Structure 1
Amino acid sequence: MSDAATRLDAVRAHIARACKAARRKSEDVTLIAVSKRRSAEEIEALIAAGQRDFGESRVQETVDKWPEIRKRHPDVRLHMIGQLQSNKAAEAAALFDSIHSLDRPSLLGELVAAEGRPSLFVQVNIGGEEQKGGVAIPELPTFLDSVRATSLPLAGLMAIPPQGVEASPFFALLAKLARRHDVTGLSMGMSADYPEAVMLGATHVRVGTALFED
């Protein structure tokens, strides 16, 4: 077994254990391998091990790296997990299957006008941090109505808890918001805390360090 396969199996096992504890099905959790700043060779090793969902945070890096990989692996799914500038929306809509960082009306308008049809996760500023992107919690109902009024599919909510504090209460809050607003997808949890996120309802976890050798 390759090193990539070993790391992938370990992460999948952690997800499976968290799902079992939460009485969930492990197949209901999508593992997104965060491949930003990773080489094509590193990515190919994970694909060979069976990984199919990958996350990138920059449009230009994705343009430079992924077209050739996707020619060889057309079943791979790409997720935009970084902040997205409105002037990059058209390119992103053509490149990505899902965008996890929708956080403002101007970006929504640009994505609607683009040719692609990515599914959309609305980013919530779950900790009320001024320096972080995301829709403020009081503004979430109106923004979700705006997304639902478009032709693009609403996939769910995404949030990144504040650093240096326990993440679980923020995961629980995002899950509560999803239930309140009848949203099914929850993109939350990274390498340091994805088992806790799965326990609290995550449907998509974004894992980089645990899958790639530094």
Structure 2
Amino acid sequence: MALSSLDEVRERIGKAARLAGRRPDAVTLIAVSKTQPAPRILGLVSAGQRVFGENRVQEAEEKWPAIRERHPDIGLHLVGRLQSNKAEEAVRLFDAIHSVDRESLVTALARAMAKSGRRPDCFLQVNVGDEPQKGGCAVPDLPRLLEQARAADLPVAGLMCLPPADTEPAPFFALLAKLARRHDVAGLSMGMSADYESAVMIGATHVRVGTALFGQRGTEDG
């Protein structure tokens, strides 16, 4: 019998983890459900998937309260860029935010957490390819951003990156892993549908997979 898309992704994560001498359960699969309607999401929920990712606060506000009312054990991660003026909504909705990349956002998130009492995990996004069109702090600016985040008492869970498209991603994953070790950060949010196995081999703790689970949709993440 053919494997479901979820089973196949899980199996590949497990194989990559074992080849790297890691435990498969050390890797969190984030099913990137942006643009996906609730029935398709619920199909994965029924199959046992419990961590999902969205790119935009507004879309998450429209879809997820009703789903999570039925399934309160679901974890929801923001994997897209976040505007500082949406920090309160993001802190209220999400259990983790993967795109913290500037001091103004650190300040806004710290204020929102203090106000709400909720403390979602925060991943600092690093622009490992030095691409001007992408979010993420520059590699040389990471120590300062990390210092600011820790001083603001953000729950820093790890680092996140989006390698340049159409380029071998492994060196960029290795760079992020090196930065995490250097700065004593545990989490590594890296790897999408085309390269999550490579990311797991290099140490990813979170992979953000959309297309391999939901099918092609012509968007940049997952």
* 8 Å contact kept, 2:173–2:199: yes
1:144 to 142, 146, 154: 146
2:63 to 62, 65, 68: 65
Tell me by how many angstroms 1:213 deviates.
Answer: 3.8
Cα separation, 2, equivalents of 1:176 and 1:111: 26
Amino acid at match of 1:147: A
Calculate the aligned-residue CA RMSD, in Å: 1.2
* 8 Å contact kept, 2:54–2:77: yes
2:183 to 181, 184, 204: 181
Match for residue 49 of structure 2? 51
2:89 to 88, 91, 109: 91
1:169 to 158, 168, 171: 171
Tell me by how many angstroms 1:53 deviates.
Answer: 0.4
Tell me by how many angstroms 1:152 deviates.
Answer: 2.3
Cα separation, 1, equivalents of 2:16 and 2:203: 10
Cα separation, 1, equivalents of 2:107 and 2:147: 13
Tell me by how many angstroms 1:149 deviates.
Answer: 1.4
Match for residue 125 of structure 2? 123
List per-residue Cα deviations over 1:60-115 (Å, max 9, x = no partner).
10000000000000000000000001111110010000000000010111111112
- Report % sequence identity: 62
Structure 2: gaps spanning 5 or more residues = 217-222
Amino acid at match of 2:208: R
Cα separation, 2, equivalents of 1:176 and 1:76: 31
Amino acid at match of 1:107: L
Match for residue 34 of structure 1? 32
- 1:94-109 aligned at under 5 Å gives the runs 94-109=92-107
Equivalent pairs, count: 212
* 8 Å contact kept, 2:107–2:152: no
* 8 Å contact kept, 2:19–2:201: yes
Cα separation, 1, equivalents of 2:147 and 2:85: 23
More displaced, 130-139 or 191-200? 130-139
Cα separation, 2, equivalents of 1:45 and 1:169: 35
Tell me by how many angstroms 1:6 deviates.
Answer: 1.2
TM-score, with structure 2 as normaliser = 0.93
Tell me by how many angstroms 1:212 deviates.
Answer: 1.0
Structure 1: gaps spanning 5 or more residues = none
